Amino acid sequence: MSLLRHLKRALRPALFLLAILGPGLITASADNDAPGIATYSMAGSTYGYSFLWIVVWITFGEVVVQEMSARMGAVTGKGLTDLVRERFGVRVTFGVMLCLILANLGTTAAQFAGVASSAELFGVSRYLAVPLAALGVWLLVTRASYRHVEKVLLVMSLYAVAYVVSAFMVRPPWGEVLHRALVPTFRLETHYLLAVLATVGTTITPWAAVYMQASVADKGVRIAEFTNTRLDVVLGAATGNVVSGFIIIATAATLFAHGIRVETAEQAALALAPVAGPWAELLFGLGLLGASLLAASVLPLATTYAVCEVFGWERGLDHRPKEAPIFYRLYTALVVLSALIVLIPGLRLFPLMWLSQVANAVLLPVVLVLMLRLANEQTIMHQWRNGRISNVLTIVLTVLVSLAMLALFVGS
């Protein structure tokens, strides 16, 4: 009994963390989905350790944005799109929703590109794998018990942790890694600016802000209980971006150092060779498949919920198709269109995953401006409005992303 008591006491901090982890960790883990892996792998293999500073600083931005979304959900009990409609009217909301649908369509297509890439690692044609995956995702969400399968897909997605082990095994120059992580470097080159925007877009995604606020509101989190939710957001962002940083370190040490630039799944899998050896492609392929299927299930669902919420249509998987026809039709359309995009002949899969995140970065400043307006509104947030630090960091992030887009436009 004494041993059991000591064991419970020792595990108490871990059990506490597991109890509070929720939307924050899930949202941050989504950074390491198929387009996330593609983006960080291409950045690390192309620019080495010089992209680490972006991941470090963007972590602060993600914490601020996600905390702001969660706080608004706790205070108002409403989703972001619902607040935008109430405060700014239908026209602004329609424009935001149209952009969100297009950006999420590209990101969902990137998930099916991840399915295609993993299938081709095993010698299976994308023209067989993608339709089957789309059908499986649709049946899983609309007909089966998604919550049980989600756990399996989450476990498969944990393969990204292998990049952490791989980075330590190849023994990179840690002094240079630390220097690159702390000292910013910048280039006014088109490809570099695209990589910057893709990195920002895959880390701080507009759909993640929408998902975070809706999740907190749906869970019924009250502002008096918000301390645990805030801790969840901070730990989730830190954990997800630590893994993201190690993906860059691993690919820089194993690929960039040998002049290999990631453009295919086979090349990205090479970064896991120090851990898995000849099984690297198998580990990468299975993990990429799990991450892709998980995100391909959630993303169109989150988009559909947001659209139906704004226009007052019946929504939710607890409704039958006859009770919520628009909800099911919109979800089906997003899945089908995303899959069809990937089936375009000659389409390069990894660049598609990478460029889909640029679309997220383009939409991000618009969403951030609306969030700032809402989070500082006295009638909405009362005494829980944004503090000065949150406002300054969000404004700086918005300006920097906007300047990067302007520089890209001028440079192009």
Greater confidence (154 vs 243) lies with 243
In which band, very low, low, confident or very high, does the pLDDT at 30 lie, cut at 50, 70 and 90?
low
Overall average pLDDT of the 229-244 stretch: 82
The pLDDT score that the predictor gives to residue 17 is 42
Overall pTM > 0.85: no
Fold of 32-411: Amino acid/polyamine transporter I (1.20.1740)
The pLDDT score that the predictor gives to residue 334 is 93
The pLDDT score that the predictor gives to residue 185 is 86
Q: How far apart are CA 360 and CA 368, in angstroms?
A: 12
The pLDDT score that the predictor gives to residue 135 is 93
Nearest residue to 119 (alpha-carbon basis) of 262, 9, 250, 281: 281
Q: How far apart are CA 126 and CA 116, in angstroms?
A: 5
Q: Which of 7-16, 94-103, 347-356, 384-393 is predicted most confidently?
A: 384-393
Domain ranges of the chain: 32-411
The pLDDT score that the predictor gives to residue 224 is 78
Nearest residue to 111 (alpha-carbon basis) of 357, 303, 291, 344: 291
Lowest mean pLDDT among 91-105, 137-151, 305-319: 137-151
The pLDDT score that the predictor gives to residue 266 is 77
The tokens describing 114, both together, are: 């991840």
Residue listed under structure tokens 């749906």: 218
Say which residues have a Cβ less than 8 Å from residue 79's Cβ, sequence separation at least 6: 73, 210, 213, 214, 217, 305, 306, 309
Q: How far apart are CA 214 and CA 183, in angstroms?
A: 36
Q: How far apart are CA 412 and CA 409, in angstroms?
A: 5
The torsion defined by the Cα of 278, 280, 282 and 288, in degrees rounded to 10, comes to: -170
In which band, very low, low, confident or very high, does the pLDDT at 12 lie, cut at 50, 70 and 90?
very low
Q: How far apart are CA 335 and CA 353, in angstroms?
A: 16
What proportion of the chain, given as a percentage, has pLDDT over 90? 18
Per residue in 127-142, pLDDT (tens digit) is 999 999 999 888 877 8
Per residue in 80-129, pLDDT (tens digit) is 888 988 888 888 888 888 888 888 888 889 889 989 988 888 889 999 99
The torsion defined by the Cα of 81, 151, 112 and 207, in degrees rounded to 10, comes to: 20
